[in-house]
C-alpha cells in the first residue's frame, strides 16, 4: 500500500482529538457532582471507553498506511484542537463543553473524510464516516442530558 501523507496528517489530528476528548470525558466522569451524578458518571464512562477504542483503531489505520502513529502527551497536545478539561465547573457546563468538543472532533473527522475521498482511500473513508456517526450519537445523548 502506498504511503498517503495527506490522509495520515488528517488522521493524526483526529487521533489526537480522540485521545484528548477521551481524557476530558474521563476527567468529567471522575469529577462530576450534583443530583445527576450517577447517570452522568455512567454516561461519561461509556463515552470515554468508546473513544479509547477509537484511539487504537485510528493509530493502527495510520500504521496500515505506513505512517508514524503519534502517542505521547507532547505530540497529542501539539496536534489536537480539543481544549483541556475545565476545573470546578458544574455538570451543565461539563455537558456544554463536551458537546462543543464533540462538534470540533466531528469537523476534523469530516476534513479527514474529504481528504480520504480525494485520495481514493475508501478504507479510511469508511472508518472515519463510522466514527462521525458515533460522535453524532454521543452529541444527541449529551444534549438530551442537559
Ligand atoms: Fe470509573
Residue 46 Cα to ligand 1 midpoint, Å, equals 10
* CB-based contact 66:1 (threshold 8 Å): yes
Residue 76 Cα to ligand 1 midpoint, Å, equals 23
Residue 27 Cα to ligand 1 midpoint, Å, equals 10
Specify the residue for cell string 497536545. Answer: 77
Residue 23 Cα to ligand 1 midpoint, Å, equals 12
In angstroms, rounded to a whole number, what is the distance separating the alpha carbons of residues 144 and 96? 11
Through-space distance between the first and last CA atoms of the chain, rounded to whole angstroms: 46
The tens place of each residue's pLDDT in the chain, 146 residues long, gives 455 599 999 999 999 999 999 999 999 999 999 999 999 999 999 999 999 999 999 999 999 999 999 999 999 999 999 999 999 999 999 999 999 999 999 999 999 999 999 999 999 999 999 999 999 999 999 999 98
* CB-based contact 85:27 (threshold 8 Å): yes
What pTM was estimated for this model as a whole? 0.95
C-alpha grid cell, residue 104: 470540533
Task: Render 30-93 in DSSP notation, one character per residue.
Answer: HH--STTHHHHHHHHHHHHHHHHHHHHHHHHHHHHTT-----SHHHHHHH--PPPPPSS--HHH
Residue 73 Cα to ligand 1 midpoint, Å, equals 21
Residue 114 Cα to ligand 1 midpoint, Å, equals 36
Amino acid at each position: 500500500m502506498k504511503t498517503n501523507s495527506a490522509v495520515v496528517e488528517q488522521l493524526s489530528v483526529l487521533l489526537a482529538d480522540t485521545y484528548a476528548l477521551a481524557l476530558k470525558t474521563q476527567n468529567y466522569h471522575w469529577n462530576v457532582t450534583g443530583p445527576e451524578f450517577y447517570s452522568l458518571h455512567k454516561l461519561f464512562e461509556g463515552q470515554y471507553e468508546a473513544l479509547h477504542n477509537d484511539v487504537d483503531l485510528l493509530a493502527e489505520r495510520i500504521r496500515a498506511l505506513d505512517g508514524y502513529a503519534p502517542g505521547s502527551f507532547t505530540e497529542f497536545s501539539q496536534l489536537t484542537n480539543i481544549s483541556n478539561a475545565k476545573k470546578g465547573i458544574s455538570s451543565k457546563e461539563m455537558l456544554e463543553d463536551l458537546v462543543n468538543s464533540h462538534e470540533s472532533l466531528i469537523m476534523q473527522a469530516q476534513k479527514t473524510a474529504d481528504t480520504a475521498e480525494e485520495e481514493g482511500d475508501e478504507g479510511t473513508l469508511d472508518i472515519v464516516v463510522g466514527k462521525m456517526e458515533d460522535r453524532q450519537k454521543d452529541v444527541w445523548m449529551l444534549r438530551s442530558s442537559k
